[in-house]
Structure 1
């Protein structure tokens, strides 16, 4: 599981250019996935493609990371990443984030699954006012974000049945609401079948 220290190290090492404050939260979530052992296969416009999830991506992540990460925030208020993990049965995960007003809707879908993991986060809870070049000063409550993504997304993708402790996501429950509408991923799947 990711830690605040490992996530900040990945953010610093990546040297992302944020267009706006909302960019910071999806990139932190991306860094949590990397720190949890996932490999980035595709991001940006390519990750939005209908065939982004099938296992057709190269796993030569280490040498191409800088090339793959380019364009991660090209789409306005939309972010998408496709990861692979040797530890998952399904092996690939599609992560999509959508900014609506000040909320970040996060959906993660493992290949072969029809039910995405969905949660909503208040962007202001995690973004500091600073535009300093020191990435740690650009975030606040990063520990809560890391704990939340570890427990509410990563552990579920890994099939963990361990229930999250009440203190782990204290203050987050009001923002983590189960999604009751149709999955954006299942809508895409239905269109493919037609």
Structure 2
């Protein structure tokens, strides 16, 4: 499972730039998947391709926010020698960010779903923030919500590979 501390560390080391509040929460979702032991295989349009990457090579975050109104990530995890792919789509709907997660390899036919009110997790005075830790007023709550609503249900046997 992801932890607040590990997620914040991953955000800081990635040093992303953000265009809007929804992007800040979407990137925290991405960092939570990394903290939970998933590997990034594609972002943006590449994550939605009819022929997604199958080699299992990790990629950087380039293109993660290239689409207007959505943030798309394709992850993989290796469990007992088998690679599994997971598509995560974060969609902007008003003041909410909806998160849909689908196991592309498993028996799960319906995506896991979570809706987050962005302002519940971000600091109010965004213009005065000098570091990534100050962006989020309730990162712990966001990570807990992701863990219980998606990560624990998606792949209960994948443990956090990032220990801090």
**What's the TM-score bracket when you normalise by the shorter of the two chains?**
0.7 to 0.9
Bigger RCO (CA 8 Å, 6+ sep): 2
Task: State how far apart, in whole Å, the 2-side matches of 1:96 and 1:2 are.
Answer: 18
Structure 2 partner of 1:85:
77
Greater fraction strand:
2
Say whether 1:108 aligns with 2:101.
yes
| 1:149 aligned residue | 146
Q: Distance in 2 between matches of 1:153 and 1:20?
A: 24
TM-score, with structure 1 as normaliser: 0.73
The Cα shift of 1:159 comes to 4.2
Residue 136 of structure 1: how far off its partner (Å): 0.8
Aligned residue among 119, 130, 135 for 2:126: 130
Establish whether residue 98 from structure 1 lines up as the match of residue 91 from structure 2: yes
CA offset at residue 133 of structure 1?
Answer: 3.5
Q: Within 5 Å, give how 1:5-16 maps onto structure 2.
A: 5-16=5-16
Unaligned 5+ runs, structure 1: 161-194
Q: What is the root-mean-square deviation in Å for CA atoms of aligned residues?
A: 1.7
Query: Is the partner of 1:69 in helix, strand or coil?
Result: coil
**Structure 2 runs not aligned, ≥5 long:** 158-164
Could you tell me how far apart the structure 1 residues matched to 2:84 and 2:49 are? 18
Structure with the largest fraction of helix: 1
With 151-160 and 133-142 compared, the bigger mean Cα shift is at 151-160
Q: Distance in 2 between matches of 1:90 and 1:159?
A: 15
Confirm whether residue 59 of structure 1 aligns to residue 56 of structure 2.
yes
- Post-superposition Cα deviations, 1:138-174, rounded to whole Å, max 9, x if no partner, equal 11111011011111101101147xxxxxxxxxxxxxx
- Give the superposition deviation at 1:47: 1.1
CA distance in 1, matches of 2:104, 2:21: 30
